A and B are shown apart, each in its own frame.
Chain A
Amino acid sequence: MADEQKPGGSQAPPPEGGGAPKPPAKPAGEAAKVTPKPAAPAPPPKPPAIMAATPWDSDLARELKERFGDRILQTATYLGQNFIVAKPDSAIPVLEYLKLEADFDYMVDITAVDWPKRAERFDVVYILYSFPRNERVRVKIYIPDGYKPETAVGVHLTANWLEREVFDMFGIEFAGHPDMRRILMPEEWQGYPLRKDYGIIQQDQRWVQENLGIESGQ
Chain B
Amino acid sequence: MPDQTFLDSTELVLNMGPQHPSTHGVLRVILKLDGEKVLGTECIIGYLHRGVEKIAENRTYAQFNPYVDRMDYVAAISNGLGYCLAVEKLLNVEAPPRAQAVRVILTELNRIASHLLWLGTHALDIGAITPVFYCFREREEALKIFEKYCGARLTTHAFRIGGLLYETYDGFEQDIRDFCNMFIPKVDEYEELLTNNRIWVARLKNVGVLNADECKEYGVTGPVLRAAGVKWDLRKAQPYSGYEKYEFEIPTCQNGDTYDRYTVRMEEMRQSIRIMRQAVESIPEGPIMGKVGKVVKPAVGEAYVSIEAPKGELGYYIVSDGSTQPYRCRVRPPSFVNLQALDRMIHGGLIADVVAVIGTLDIVLGEVDR
Contact = CB atoms under 8 A, between A and B. Distances in A.
Interface of A: 5-6, 11, 13-14, 16, 18-19, 21-23, 48-53, 78-79, 81, 105-109, 111, 113-114, 125, 127, 131, 134, 136, 138, 156-158, 160-162, 165, 169, 182-186, 193-194, 196, 198, 200
B340 A52 contact: no
A142 to B, nearest CB: 14
B75 interface: no
A19 B218 CA distance: 40
Given A134-B238, A136-B304, A13 B321 contact: yes
B300 A49 contact: yes
Contact of A79 (B55, B89, B238, B323): B89
Contacts of B218: 157-158
Contact of A161 (B92, B300, B322, B340): B340
14 contacts: A5-B300, A6-B321, A19-B325, A51-B301, A79-B89, A108-B313, A113-B327, A125-B317, A127-B304, A127-B317, A131-B216, A160-B340, A161-B340, A184-B49
Given A108-B315, A127-B332, A21 B58 contact: yes
A204 B295 CA distance: 35
Interface string B96-112: 00000000000000000
Nearest to A21: B58
A21 B54 CA distance: 12
Contacts of B237: 134
Contacts of A108: 219, 304, 306, 313, 315, 332
Given A160-B340, A184-B369, A131 B319 contact: no
Contacts of B46: 182-186
B148 interface: no
Contacts of A125: 317, 330
Nearest to A186: B46
A122 to B, nearest CB: 11
Contacts of B332: 108-109, 111, 127
Contacts of A21: 58
Is the contact region of chain A dominated by helix, strand, or loop, or is it mixed? Answer: loop
B322 A106 contact: no
Contacts of A162: 337
B14 to A, nearest CB: 20
B337 A48 contact: no
A43 B261 CA distance: 58
A168 B88 CA distance: 30
Contacts of B303: 78-79, 81
Contact of B315 (A127, A161, A198): A127
B79 to A, nearest CB: 16
B304 A138 contact: yes
A204 to B, nearest CB: 13
B58 A23 contact: yes
Interface string B311-351: 00101010101111101101010001100100000000000
Contacts of B304: 81, 108-109, 127, 136, 138
B56 to A, nearest CB: 10
Nearest to B50: A184
Nearest to B230: A131
A105 B54 contact: no
B336 A200 contact: no
A126 to B, nearest CB: 11
A111 B317 contact: yes
Contacts of A19: 60, 323-325
Nearest to A184: B46
Interface string B41-59: 0000110010101110110
A48 B300 contact: yes
Interface in B259-307: 295, 297, 299-304, 306
Contact of B51 (A18, A52, A127, A193): A193
Contacts of A134: 237-238
A81 B45 CA distance: 32
A35 B128 CA distance: 68
B240 to A, nearest CB: 13
Given A6-B321, A107-B219, A194 B53 contact: yes
A53 B49 contact: no
B92 A50 contact: no
B317 A106 contact: no
A117 to B, nearest CB: 11
Contact of B57 (A11, A23, A49, A81): A23
B299 A48 contact: yes
Interface in B214-248: 216-220, 230, 232, 237-238
B324 A53 contact: no
B158 interface: no
Given A18-B60, A125-B330, A156-B217, 11 more contacts: A21-B58, A48-B300, A51-B301, A109-B304, A111-B330, A125-B317, A131-B230, A157-B217, A161-B336, A184-B45, A185-B46
Contacts of B299: 48, 52
Contact of B324 (A5, A14, A107, A182): A14
Residue in A48, A51, A78, A184 with the greatest tally of chain B CB atoms within 10 Å: A184
B142 interface: no
